[in-house]
């Protein structure tokens, strides 16, 4: 009976050790996957930030160009108006 109890205890101890080793291995594997995904997310975030920065720069350039065109259009209208005024006064 004592031998059977000892054998059962050894088998149970071995099962506990195997389960513990499997748990440690699974935890480490999940940790590595988590670190890899964190790196991927970080890389994607940097790419998106760079892209957003380029888009922001493009928007600023378009806005500046539009402001210059608006100013140019205003100046052209004023010049045309003045030319029209001069023509009506000379007639």
Q: How far is CA 64 from CA 3, 13, 45, 59, 70, in A?
A: 90, 75, 28, 9, 10
What's the DSSP call for residue 72?
A: H
Whether the full predicted model's pTM is greater than 0.75, yes or no, is no
Report the alpha-carbon distance of residue 22 to residue 15 in Å, rounded: 10
Question: pLDDT (tens digit, 9 = 90+) per residue, 11-55?
Answer: 999 999 999 999 999 999 999 999 999 999 999 999 999 999 999
Question: What confidence tier does 68 reach under pLDDT thresholds 50, 70, 90?
Answer: confident
Question: What confidence tier does 91 reach under pLDDT thresholds 50, 70, 90?
Answer: low
What single string gives the DSSP state of each residue in 7-62? HHHHHHHHHHHHHHHHHHHHHHHHHHHHHHHHHHHHHHHHHHHHHHHHHHHHHHHH
Grouping H, G, I as helix, E, B as strand and the rest as coil, residue 1 is coil
């Amino acid at each position: 009976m004592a031998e059977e109890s000892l054998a059962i205890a050894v088998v149970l101890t071995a099962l506990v050790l195997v389960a513990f080793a499997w748990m440690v291995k699974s935890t480490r594997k999940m940790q590595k996957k988590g670190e890899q995904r964190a790196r991927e997310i970080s890389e994607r975030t940097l790419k998106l930030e760079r892209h957003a920065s380029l888009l922001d720069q493009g928007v600023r350039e378009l806005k500046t160009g539009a402001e210059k065109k608006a100013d140019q259009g205003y100046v052209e209208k004023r010049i045309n108006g003045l030319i029209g005024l001069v023509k009506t006064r000379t007639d």
